[in-house]
Each structure stands twice: as structure tokens, then as C-alpha cells.
């Protein structure tokens, strides 16, 4: 068996930390399901609105210094009528719902055909041994383009690859998990999480500016740069901290037979051919898209200004996500014979939609909460008072983003869903920081750092149980404290490094976080 000097489960070294984690786990388990939580928030908002209106809670609109914004009660006949008549439209008009479902239609085709799985296997397994760690983390970050596929495919695959190379399998698991989860918001491409979060941000921004819009590409530049930072930091943490601490692996610790390495089979000739043809289709799509945007006469430029800003291209970016996954996915499927006709494509899309049942139910209650919150004027009142508090405290400069990122990371420990957390916090923080002078796009970029870095150390993250089960294959007595302690260095170092990058990129270099994305907001 592995020596206790080389293991995370040495009680003398981590006893106090394990007790702390047990407390976090206990507190987290007290929280109800996120759907139930949103339903409770709706009830709370209704009751709170009545109390606030009764006591005359209000704020002075800083835009003119005269208008009084008062809390509106939903516990009146008019309030009840508004809730009843808008229940359906609150749901169907919730911005993230349609964009996410459309994007996943395309992702479903690429996933079902085997394109995404083959691409990740080819990326990781062909890397030189000395670059395997950074490649695994990088592949984890890239996998986020296809939603949560990295959790299901890449994390188990990385553990097997490390084991096959004679390295500790849990180190491979940790590296992949860090890229997929702690680096969740970073990516070279726009993924399904981008339209989801931008839709919530736009809804929150409209509390202050009813015409404000936030595109799915809002954080693209910053997230592209972040991809390389996360890959490098993740590799260094794995090689210099995590794997040395784990020590040499002993097969007797496993709870399964490790002789079967079938999932590590290299790509077949047919799969390689499929990837080539899929790559060609991507180039063709890119060329066609470029013709509609790059030339001054491009039909997807803004019809009045001729610019890319505010153009149909940026407003409809989710459509391009759909095509960039669906068409190469079908091409790959035809070559490897996993897809033969339109029925197979339809089945793939139907399957991707069938996995969204929980999300759709969550959105129903989240949409009610967001609209109830907006109708009560709570968001505006909290934002004005919060902005005044920050101003009085002198926290109006860039330093306030450090505290904002920390708050987001802490909330994420208790509410692991990125969309659920942002739906709750965005109506408060986005208007508040807008009134201090920062654009919603920058606020969202900062939120995504905090939301990502603590994913790997919270049992509330939806895939934490899956990761724990995979890890237990290689260490039969592994507990939740062991896994969290193993992943804690990633959270700490990613938080520090990513926050520094944010300040350098946004404030030191003055670079936009995305195409045409402003840094500052002027009412």
C-alpha cells in the first residue's frame, strides 16, 4: 500500500482541514435543490416586497437626483394579476433559454457522431510525454465548448493515460478536472455557457439601462488569453505540487481491474479520416462566414453603420455555434458511419434536448425570480444604495473587483450551477457596479473567474459525485476530503493568477474583454 507520508489522507497533516471541509460539506447539504431554492426565493421576494413597500423603502435615482424609486409590492391585487398573466411569458422570454437550446442542438450532433470524443483523444494521446500534463489541462479547457462533455469523457480518459504512462492516475484526473471545471470559463471558442451567462447579464443590466444588450462574445478575448494561463498553471500545479504529494501509485489501491485499457486505444484510420474531413468542413464554414463579416460589404455587418459592433453577426453568434458543431459533426459521422442520414441527425438533436429537462425546469423558476425581482425595484434600490456605500468607502476603483471575485467564489461553494448563481447575484451586482462606472461585460468577466476557480472544491458542483466515483476506482478508500484537498491548490493558485491577469488585461493594458466590449459604463 502507498505510504502515508505520500498521501493526502495523512490525518496528522490534514486533520484540521478535513474537519473544515466536513463542515463545508454539512452546510452545503443543508441547502435544498437549486430548483427548490429558486421557488423559495420567489416566495421570499413576494413577501419582502410587501414589507418593503409598507415601510416605504426607496432610493433617489442618481441619473437626475430627483426621481424617487420606491419598492413595489407584489402582495397586492395588481401584483398578483401581473404574476399570473406573465408566468408563461417570463419563462418563454427568458433570454438564456433559447440561446442555450439552439447551441446544444449543434453540439448534440457533434457529440453523438463521436467527433468531440475523437478530437479530444487525438489531442491528448498524441502529445509528447513531456507535454502530456499541459495538453490534458488544455484539452479540459477546450472541452467546455461542448458544455459538460469533458467531465464524462476527458476526466476518466486522463486518469487512464497517466496510469498507462506509469504516472499516478489521480494526478491525471486532477489535471483534467482542473481544466474542465476550475478553468470552466476559459476557452478559445465561444461555447454554450457564453450565451447563457450573457443573457442573464443583459437582463440584469436592463434594470439600469432598458436598452442594454450583452452578446455571447462579450468575454471572448479575455477567455482566449485565459485558456493559456490556465493550461500553464494547471500543468505546473500538477507536476510540482499534486503528483509529488500523491507519490508513487500502487495497483493494490484500485477498486477495479486496471488491466483493461481499451478506452486508450489510438484513433483508427477511419476516425483520423473523419477528423480530416470534419476539419475541412470547418474551414469551408469559416471562409463563408468571413465573407459575410470581413469585407465592408459583408451582409452580416451592421446595416446602418457598416461596423461589426451591434451587427447581425454578433447578435446571432449562437446560430454560428450551431452550424460549427452540427455540420462538422455530421460530416464526421458520415465518414465513420455513425451517422448515415437525416434521421440520425434528428435523433442526435433529440437526445441532446432530452438531457436538458432539469435545466428547463430550473429556467422556469429562475425566470420567475428574475422578473419578480425586477418588478419590485429591489435591484435598482440595492444597486443605488450599494453604489453609494462603495463610494463612501472609497471602493470605486479596480480593487473592488478583487472582493467581487472572492464573493463569487464563495457563493459558488454553496450554489454550484453557474447559471443559477448568476441569475441570483447578477440583478444585484451588475446594476451596482454599473452605477459605480463599470460595463456589464467587464463585470461578467470578473464573475466568471470566481465562478470557475472554486468549482473543483465544492460538493455542490453537479459533476462532483461523478469525479469522486472515477477517483474511487484508483483509490478504493478515497473520501470527499481527499479529493477536495487534492484540488485545493488549483483553486488557490488559479484565483491568484487569473485575478492578476484580469487586472493586467483590463486595467494595465486597457484591453477589451471581448469584441467591441467597453470597460466603463456611463449612464
Q: For 192-227, what is each residue's pLDDT tens digit?
A: 678 888 888 998 898 888 889 888 889 999 999 999
Residue span of the structural domain in which 326 resides: 34-508
Query: What share of the chain has pLDDT > 70, as a percent?
Result: 81
Residue 261 pLDDT: 44
Name the DSSP class of 306: -
Cell of 62: 442618481
Q: Is the pLDDT of residue 264 over 60?
A: no
* DSSP structure string for 193-212: HHHHHHHHHHHHHTTT-TT-
Residue 26 pLDDT: 60
Long-range contacts of 504-510 (CB under 8 A, 24+ apart): 505/222, 505/225, 506/222, 506/398, 506/442, 506/445, 507/398
Rounded distance between C-alpha atoms, residue 287 and residue 267, angstroms = 28
Q: Is the pLDDT of residue 425 over 80?
A: no
Q: For 291-303, what is each residue's pLDDT tens digit?
A: 988 888 888 887 8
Cell of 369: 425570480
**Residue 264 phi, psi (nearest 5):** -95, 10
Residue 30 pLDDT: 64
Burial of 347 (0-12, 13-18, 19+ CB in 10 A): middle
Rounded distance between C-alpha atoms, residue 448 and residue 185, angstroms = 6
25 located within any domain: no
From the list 231, 277, 242, the residue with the least C-alpha distance to 167 is 242
Q: Is the pLDDT of residue 1 over 50?
A: no
From the list 349, 310, 436, the residue with the least C-alpha distance to 385 is 436
Cα torsion 142, 413, 474, 155 to 10°: value is -10
Q: Which residue has the higher pLDDT, 454 or 253?
A: 454
In the block, cell 467591441 appears at 516
Residue 22 pLDDT: 56
Query: What share of the chain has pLDDT > 90, as a percent?
Result: 30
282 located within any domain: yes
Name the DSSP class of 295: S
Per the structure, the count of domains in the chain is 1
Alpha helices in 338-377 (DSSP H): 342-354, 357-375
Per the prediction, the chain carries an average pLDDT of: 82
CA distances from 271 to 192, 202, 265 (A): 25, 41, 12
Q: For 5-29, what is each residue's pLDDT tens digit?
A: 444 444 444 456 456 645 644 654 5
pTM comes to 0.66
Rounded distance between C-alpha atoms, residue 229 and residue 137, angstroms = 10
Q: Is the pLDDT of residue 400 over 50?
A: yes
258 located within any domain: yes
Q: Which residue has the higher pLDDT, 182 or 385?
A: 182
Rounded distance between C-alpha atoms, residue 203 and residue 99, angstroms = 14
93 located within any domain: yes
Q: Is the pLDDT of residue 282 over 60?
A: yes
521 located within any domain: no
Residue 25 pLDDT: 47
196 located within any domain: yes
514 located within any domain: no
* DSSP structure string for 404-460: HHHHHHHHHHH---HHHHHHHHHHHHHHHHHHHTB-HHHHHHHHHHHHHHTGGG-TT
Amino acid at each position: 500500500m502507498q505510504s502515508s507520508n505520500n498521501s493526502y489522507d495523512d490525518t496528522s497533516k490534514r486533520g484540521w482541514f478535513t474537519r473544515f471541509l466536513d463542515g463545508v460539506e454539512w452546510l452545503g447539504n443543508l441547502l435544498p435543490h437549486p430548483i427548490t431554492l429558486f421557488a423559495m426565493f420567489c416566495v421570499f421576494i413576494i413577501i419582502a416586497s410587501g414589507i418593503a413597500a409598507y415601510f416605504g423603502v426607496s432610493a433617489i435615482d442618481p441619473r437626475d437626483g430627483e426621481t424617487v424609486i420606491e419598492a413595489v409590492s407584489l402582495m397586492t391585487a395588481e401584483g398578483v394579476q401581473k404574476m399570473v398573466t406573465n408566468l408563461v411569458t417570463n419563462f418563454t422570454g427568458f433570454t438564456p433559454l433559447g440561446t442555450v437550446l439552439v447551441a446544444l442542438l449543434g453540439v448534440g450532433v457533434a457529440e453523438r457522431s463521436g467527433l468531440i470524443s475523437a478530437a479530444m483523444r487525438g489531442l491528448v494521446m498524441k502529445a509528447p510525454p513531456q507535454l502530456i500534463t499541459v495538453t490534458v489541462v488544455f484539452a479540459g479547457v477546450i472541452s467546455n465548448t461542448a458544455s459538460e462533455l469533458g467531465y464524462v469523457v476527458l476526466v476518466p480518459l486522463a486518469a487512464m493515460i497517466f496510469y498507462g504512462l506509469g504516472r499516478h492516475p489521480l494526478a491525471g484526473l486532477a489535471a483534467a478536472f482542473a481544466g474542465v471545471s476550475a478553468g470552466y470559463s476559459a476557452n478559445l471558442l465561444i461555447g454554450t455557457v457564453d450565451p447563457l451567462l450573457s443573457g442573464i447579464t443583459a437582463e440584469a443590466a436592463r434594470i439600469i439601462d432598458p436598452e442594454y444588450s450583452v452578446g455571447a462574445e462579450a468575454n471572448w478575448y479575455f477567455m482566449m488569453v485565459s485558456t493559456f494561463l490556465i493550461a500553464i498553471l494547471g500543468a505546473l500545479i500538477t507536476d510540482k505540487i499534486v503528483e509529488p504529494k500523491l507519490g508513487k501509485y500502487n495497483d493494490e489501491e484500485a477498486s477495479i481491474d486496471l488491466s483493461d485499457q481499451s478506452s486508450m486505444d489510438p484513433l483508427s484510420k477511419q476516425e483520423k479520416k473523419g477528423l480530416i474531413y470534419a476539419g475541412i468542413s470547418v474551414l469551408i464554414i469559416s471562409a463563408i462566414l468571413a465573407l459575410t463579416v470581413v469585407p465592408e460589404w459583408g451582409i452580416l455587418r451592421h446595416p446602418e453603420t457598416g461596423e461589426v459592433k451591434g451587427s447581425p453577426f454578433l447578435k446571432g453568434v449562437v446560430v454560428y455555434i450551431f452550424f460549427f458543431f452540427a455540420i462538422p459533426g455530421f460530416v464526421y459521422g458520415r465518414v465513420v458511419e455513425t451517422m448515415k442520414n437525416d434521421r440520425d441527425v434528428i435523433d442526435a438533436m433529440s437526445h441532446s434536448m432530452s438531457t436538458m429537462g432539469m435545466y428547463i425546469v430550473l429556467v422556469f423558476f429562475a425566470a420567475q425570480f428574475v422578473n419578480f425581482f425586477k418588478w419590485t425595484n429591489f435591484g435598482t434600490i440595492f444597486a443605488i444604495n450599494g453604489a453609494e456605500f462603495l463610494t463612501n468607502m472609497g471602493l470605486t476603483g479596480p480593487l473592488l473587483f478583487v472582493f467581487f471575485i472572492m464573493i463569487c467564489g464563495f457563493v459558488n461553494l454553496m450554489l454550484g450551477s453557474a447559471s443559477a448563481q448568476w441569475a441570483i447575484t447578477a440583478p444585484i451586482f451588475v446594476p451596482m457596479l454599473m452605477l459605480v462606472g463599470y460595463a456589464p461585460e467587464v463585470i461578467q468577466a470578473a464573475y466568471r473567474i470566481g465562478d470557475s476557480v472554486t468549482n473543483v472544491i465544492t460538493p455542490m458542483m453537479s459533476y462532483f459525485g461523478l469525479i469522486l466515483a472515477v477517483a474511487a476506482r484508483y483509490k478504493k478508500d478515497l473520501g470527499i476530503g481527499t479529493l477536495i484537498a487534492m484540488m485545493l491548490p488549483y483553486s488557490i493558485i488559479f484565483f491568484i493568477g487569473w485575478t492578476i491577469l484580469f487586472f493586467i488585461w483590463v486595467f494595465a493594458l486597457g484591453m477589451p474583454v471581448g469584441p467591441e466590449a467597453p470597460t466603463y459604463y456611463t449612464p
